[in-house]
Structure 1
């Protein structure tokens, strides 16, 4: 149970005004499922359910509901941002692991590994030689942390994750289930008799602070050097990031996107679902690559790009208009 007094103290940096009587709540809920124990977030007065004891909203909406609502109102500038921060603090399974003892007896931890304070290690986890795990890290069931890995404070490794040898994971990183960090990349060279020889990958993966990696992603280690995922990157499920790729800060990489070896993605780029970038190509900072965009040449400047090959959005939509014109002309010819 959390009091609205505690809410004000914890989030005084985003709460700009309060109204109504003090209250308590047990959890957060959507406004459609509000009950007498919930904190809700609303962006319009029509979304209010007066059964909820506490509401997060804007000052404009607060002015509309104060006459009819007798509960506690906290006003913020950005309701969605407030929802993200407050749910992380009070109602986030990712930050809690109540099921097992701090170190499950079935975990296998090498005697040379270093574990920080308040670490939680789940069933059947394997932690290898010379691993360093920071404070308040959670490693959940069946995950494997190979030798020489470093994991920063407050990071979360969900079930069935593999972090390969020598990789570096920053602070407050979340690795979702089924993801593989630092496996060998796809590197083969042809022989004279048209067979293929594997090129061992002896680099690693470095993941910066505050990165989120979704489920069933593969991030390959560098052939030499590192594959780099910089601070604040958010990667959706089912993405492949090949050896020696560099992704700049605060990028969004959406589901089923594939980044080929040694390509470079600039800061704050957004790559929409099923996008692809060819090896060694560069995508400028602040680029938005729309769904299924294919980069086969460098993108030199930010903005919205689309199509295969990716072109600036105005040029990309012009192609659709031309295709439509051609189809209509063919239809008229067929009529004749």
Structure 2
């Protein structure tokens, strides 16, 4: 990792350099940066900390005031991701098929792929250029892994799944397991319904550790491009997750849920089956969805409702003791008035 001129960084992030064109050696947070480092001021809440920072220069929002050199950008957080990649570029492993891995004669593995120790690749599977199977990865029959995708240890991707290009699948994720489908007879006995669909995942999808994505019952469970899935998320069979959706840790999607573009589901959100979450909707943490959510709406609570209504209810709940006291006083006053009338 070599030093970089601020002018080079500004050009890479489409920013404007204001002040001296210093050479910086690293990108660090405000509280640990030193004079040779570039730090970042994402918004006005960081202003006070920036005043005491020892950083030599700042990546910042437009209008930030300081005597030190700055790179001004429209979106500091987006620019920060690019700067981190400048100083810490992703390093890909050299192509290799480790001798301990087991690969079917009828699988196709690119000579530009990395297949690490103790991986298993079943017949009919396709592993494209620059794929990395780090170690202990299972790839099922007729499953395809697209170019540049990185898969970390103890991931299982079962038969007839499709993974797009430049995805990242973190350790322990399970893709293509059987969906949770059963029929119950008149005696209460449960019989499993075979799940014969697959899972189809688009490009630039990130999947966190120990997330599970069930295969479809007849058609594929579908996750489209640029979806970002945190750790410990459950996606049931036949779900459709459209482009650029964010699913935060411990979200649970029942079967056949449809999540439209750019929706955000915060931590521990749960949904009943066969509902639709609208484009750009936001579901706040620990909400329970029992019905469709319109486009662009923010909801919370159980059952989930518009967040303004939720907070109004919370305010009323907190006032209940006071309201109860007032009602008791009114009741006492009414009884007193009744006694006066009876005495007259």
TM-score by length of 1: 0.85
| Counterparts in 2 of 1:177 and 1:11: CA distance versus 1, 3 Å | farther
| Counterparts in 2 of 1:97 and 1:189: CA distance versus 1, 3 Å | same
CA distance in 1, matches of 2:212, 2:297: 28
| Counterparts in 2 of 1:269 and 1:23: CA distance versus 1, 3 Å | same
2:162 matched to 1:168? Answer: yes
- 1:88 maps to which residue? 85
- The answer to whether the 8 Å contact 2:269/2:283 transfers is yes
1:143-177 per-position Cα deviation (integer Å, ceiling 9, x unaligned): 11111111112211111111111111111111111
Q: Secondary structure at the match of 1:64?
A: coil
CA distance in 1, matches of 2:139, 2:88: 28
Q: What count of residue pairs does the alignment treat as equivalent?
A: 324
- 1:16 maps to which residue? 16
2:127 matched to 1:133? Answer: yes
- 2:59 maps to which residue? 56
1:85 deviation in Å? 2.0
- 1:46 maps to which residue? 51
| Counterparts in 2 of 1:47 and 1:152: CA distance versus 1, 3 Å | farther
> Where do 5+ consecutive residues of structure 1 fail to align?
none
TM-score by length of 2: 0.84
| Counterparts in 2 of 1:327 and 1:165: CA distance versus 1, 3 Å | farther
1:110 deviation in Å? 2.0
CA distance in 1, matches of 2:107, 2:18: 48
- 2:337 maps to which residue? none
Greater shift, 143-152 or 107-116, is seen at 107-116
1:248 deviation in Å? 1.5
- The answer to whether the 8 Å contact 2:95/2:113 transfers is no
CA distance in 2, matches of 1:155, 1:6: 32
- The answer to whether the 8 Å contact 1:58/1:78 transfers is yes
CA distance in 2, matches of 1:37, 1:127: 47
2:1 matched to 1:4? Answer: no
| Counterparts in 2 of 1:10 and 1:202: CA distance versus 1, 3 Å | farther
- 1:109 maps to which residue? 103
1:39-90 per-position Cα deviation (integer Å, ceiling 9, x unaligned): 433454426424x5x65334644x6234xx6xxx544332221121232354
- Of the three residues 197, 200, 205, the one matched with 2:191 is 197
CA distance in 2, matches of 1:58, 1:305: 30
CA distance in 2, matches of 1:110, 1:55: 53
| Counterparts in 2 of 1:5 and 1:318: CA distance versus 1, 3 Å | closer
